[in-house]
Amino acid sequence: MFVESRQPLINFRLDPRTGLAPYRQLVDQVRQAVSLGLLHPGDRLPSVREVVTQVTINPNTVHRAYRELEHEGVVEGRSGLGTFVTASASSRVTAEDRAVLLEELREWVGRAHRAGLDGDAIAALVAVAVLPEDIVAL
Amino acid sequence: MSEAVAALETIGLGKRYGRRWGLRDCSVRLPAGRIAALVGPNGAGKSTLLRMAAGITRPSAGEVRVFGHSPQRQTVDVLRKIGYLDQERPLYRAFRVGQMLRFGERLNPNWDAMAAHGYLSELGIPGNAKVGKLSVGQQAQVAMAMCLAKQPALLLLDEPLAALDPVAREGLMHLLLGSVADGQTTVLLSSHAIADLATVCDYIIILSASRVLIADDLDYVLASHRLLVGSSQGASHAPAGVVVVARTSSERQIELLVRVEQPVTDPTWRVIEPTLEEIVLAYLREQSTGTLSEVRAGESVEGQQR
C-alpha cells in the first residue's frame, strides 16, 4: 500500500488577483516547478486529496489540471500509485534555451523601463501577454 | 451523460407557508459528482430547498428526486444516501464527542467509524471532550465529521460556514473537500461566502425571492457572462446578441453585465471577464430592486434608466 505520510513535494497556491482559472494556475505552477528544477523526473505530485486539504479548491479542478499536464507529457499517471513527473518533462526546455529567453526578456524589460513603465505595469503587461488573445481587451 | 440519473432533480418544486411561497417553480438538475453552491439573499428559499431535498419537509407543489427517488416516499433507502447538515448544527451538548460518534454509528448502517475518528484526531478534538464545551468552530467540525462518516452520496449543507472565523472556515472546507476528493459524493451547500466558493464549486444555483435565477455549470456561467464598459456618449445601445442582466452608470461611463452566446466584438465596449461574485451580485441586486428585465439586442440602454 502506498503511504501518503511524507510531506508533499510542492505546495500549490491560488492567487485570485491573476484572473486565471484555478486549474490553469495549478498547471502553470507544476510546469514552473519542473522548469526551475524544483520537481525532478520520477517525483510524485501531491495527491488530489493532499491538494484539496491544502488549498481550498474543487477536487475535479485538480484532476483536470493533472489531466492537462498528462496530455502535455509533463506528468504521467500510474494507476493506484499517483501522478509522476515524466523523464522527458524537464528536458523539454534546455538550460541554454532558458538562458536565451531570459536574456531577451531582460532586454525587453529594459525597453519597458525606458518607456516609463514601472514593475507593476510590466507585470500587468506580461500577465496580459500570456492570456489567449480573444479574451483580452486593452 | 445527461441520461444518467441526477443526484438531485426538482421539477416545478414549491413550498408554501400559509399565503407566502418559500420556494416556487424550482426546476434544477444537479448531476452526480458535483460540488454545487446554493446562493441567494436570506429568505430566498435556500433552506427550504435543502430541507425538501433531505426529506424533512413535504413539497406543496412539484417533485423532488434524489438519485431518481422521492426522499419523502421510499424513505429508508433514499435517506441513507443523504447527509444533511442543518444551519443550527444540531448536536447533543451534554454528550461527549465519543458518545456522539457511537450514537451516529448506531443509527447509520454505512457509518465509517475509522474515518470519523480519523477526522477528529486530525482536528485535535479529543473524544472525551464535552460537545457543549467545544468552540463554535470545533462544534461545526464535529457536526461535519458526523455528516461525512455517514458516507452519503448526496451531502446537503445549510450554511456550513456561517458564524465561523476564517481559520475555522478553511479547516471545515478542507475537511469536506478531502472527504469528497474521490468524486463519489455530490455536494450542495448554501453560503454567503461567494468569493470562497468560486474555487470550490463547479455548479451554481442562484435563488432569489423564492425563484431560481440560474442553475448551471460554473464554467458555463463564467463563460457566458461579460462585463461591458463604455462611455455614456458612445454606447447608447447594447451590442447585438447580448442579454443585459444589470446596468450601472456614472456620469461618463456605462457598465453592463450581460449574458452572451458569442464573443462581443463591438469596439465601443471594453469587454471584461467578470468574477463569480460580480455575476451573482448583479443578478441579486437587479432582482432586489425589481428591475431584472431583459433588454434584448438593439434595444435602447437609455430606456432602462430609472
Q: What is the dihedral of CA B66, B67, B70, B72, to 10 degrees?
A: -50
Is the domain of B210 the same as that of B230? no
Domains of chain A: 16-91 (1.10.10.10), 94-135 (no CATH)
- Cα–Cα dist A26/B162, whole Å: 29
Angle (CA) B111-B117-B120 rounded to 5° is: 120
* pLDDT reported for residue B78: 84
Find, in chain A, the residue whose alpha carbon is nearest to that of B266: A137
* pLDDT reported for residue B239: 84
Confidence of residue A136 (pLDDT cuts 50, 70, 90): low
Give the residue carrying C-alpha cell 441520461. Answer: B3
Single-letter code of the amino acid located at B227: L
| Nearest-CB residue to B178 (from A16, A49, A134) | A49
* pLDDT reported for residue B288: 65
Rounded alpha-carbon distances, angstroms, from residue B151 to B65, B78, B155: 19, 13, 9
Beta pairing class for B82-85 and B154-158: parallel
Confidence of residue A88 (pLDDT cuts 50, 70, 90): confident
Bridge partners of B244, per DSSP, are: B258, B295
Total-model pTM = 0.81
Interface predicted TM-score (ipTM) = 0.79
Partners of A11 on chain B (C-beta within 8 Å) are none
| Nearest-CB residue to A58 (from B170, B200, B263) | B200
Q: Is the pLDDT of residue A89 over 70?
A: no
Is the domain of B36 the same as that of B166? yes
Is the domain of B210 the same as that of B251? no
* pLDDT reported for residue A99: 83
Closest CA to B98 of B65, B131, B76: B131
Residue ranges, chain B, pLDDT below 70: 1-3, 234-236, 288-306
* pLDDT reported for residue A44: 94
Q: Three-class SS of residue A77? A: strand
Chain B interface test: which of A56, A83, A133 (most B C-beta within 10 Å): A56
Domain final position from B159, B183, B218: B218
Q: Is the pLDDT of residue A43 over 50?
A: yes
Is the domain of B133 the same as that of B249? no
How many structural domains is chain B composed of? 2
Is the domain of B182 the same as that of B233? no
Which carries the bigger pLDDT value, residue B280 or residue A9? Answer: B280
**Tens digits of residue pLDDT in B215-259:** 999 999 999 999 999 888 766 678 888 999 998 888 888 999 999
- Cα–Cα dist B138/B108, whole Å: 22
Domain final position from B170, B198, B218: B218
**Tens digits of residue pLDDT in A104-123:** 999 999 999 999 999 889 98
Partners of B183 on chain A (C-beta within 8 Å) are 59-60, 63
Is the domain of B287 the same as that of B179? no
* pLDDT reported for residue B267: 83
Q: Three-class SS of residue B24? A: strand
Domain final position from B183, B202, B218: B218
Query: What residue ranges in B31-153 does DSSP mark as E strands?
Result: 35-39, 61-66, 82-85
Closest CA to B204 of B279, B148, B153: B279
| Nearest-CB residue to A56 (from B170, B180, B181) | B170
Q: Is the Cβ–Cβ distance between A34 and A74 less than 8 Å?
A: yes
* pLDDT reported for residue B190: 95
Give the residue carrying C-alpha cell 469536506. Answer: B176
